[in-house]
Homo-oligomer: A and B are copies of this chain.
Amino acid sequence: MANEERKDGERQPEAQDQPLSGLLNKPVSRRDVLKMAGIGGAGLLLGAAGVGAIFKEGLFAGASSAAKPAAKEAAGDIVEFYGAHQAGIATPSPNFILFAAFDVVGTSLDSVRALFKAWTAAAASMTRGEPVGEESGNDHLPPTDTGESAGLSPSRTTITFGVGPSFFDHRFGLAGKKPAALVDFPAFGGDELRPEWTGGDIGVQVCSDDMQVAFHAIRNLSRIGRGKVVLRWTQEGFQRTGAADPKGATPRNLLGFKDGTANPDTDDDSVMNRVVWAQSADGAGWMAGGTYMAVRRIRMRVEVWDRSTLADQEQTFGRHRASGAPLGGKDEFDEVNLEAKDASGKPLIPMNSHVRLARGDGSAQILRRSYSYSSGMDNKTGQLDAGLLFICFNRDSRKQFIPMQQKLGQSDLLNEYIVHNGSAHFACFPGVRQGGYIGDTLF
Contacts and interface: CB of A to CB of B under 8 A. Distances in A.
A124 to B, nearest CB: 19
Given A146-B256, A210-B240, A239-B212, A377 B233 contact: yes
A244 B307 contact: no
Interface stretch (A134-142, A333-341, A359-367, A412-420): A134-142
B245 A308 contact: no
A234 B141 contact: no
Contacts of A223: 303, 306
A243 B210 contact: yes
A211 B239 CA distance: 8
Given A215-B374, A247-B68, A255 B311 contact: no
User: For the complex, would chain A's binding face be called helix, strand, loop or mixed by DSSP majority?
Assistant: loop
Given A139-B311, A219-B302, A151 B249 contact: yes
A212 B256 contact: no
Contacts of A238: 211-212
A384 B240 contact: no
A376 B374 contact: no
Interface string A216-247: 00110011001000110111101111111111
Interface residues of A, number: 83
Could you say how many copies of this chain the assembly holds? Answer: 2
B1 A152 contact: no
A148 B255 contact: yes
A21 interface: no
A344 interface: no
A240 B49 CA distance: 13
A130 to B, nearest CB: 14
Contact of A246 (B49, B211, B251, B309): B49
A140 B309 CA distance: 5
A253 interface: yes
A321 B143 contact: yes
25 contacts: A1-B307, A49-B247, A53-B247, A57-B247, A68-B246, A139-B309, A141-B309, A141-B310, A142-B306, A142-B310, A143-B310, A147-B257, A148-B256, A151-B245, A153-B245, A196-B379, A210-B241, A211-B238, A212-B252, A219-B306, A223-B306, A231-B382, A235-B376, A236-B376, A242-B243
Interface of A: 1, 48-50, 53, 56-57, 68, 70, 73, 98, 139-143, 146-153, 155, 196, 209-213, 215, 218-219, 222-223, 226, 230-231, 233-236, 238-247, 249, 251-257, 302-303, 306-311, 313-314, 321-322, 372, 374-377, 379, 382-384, 386
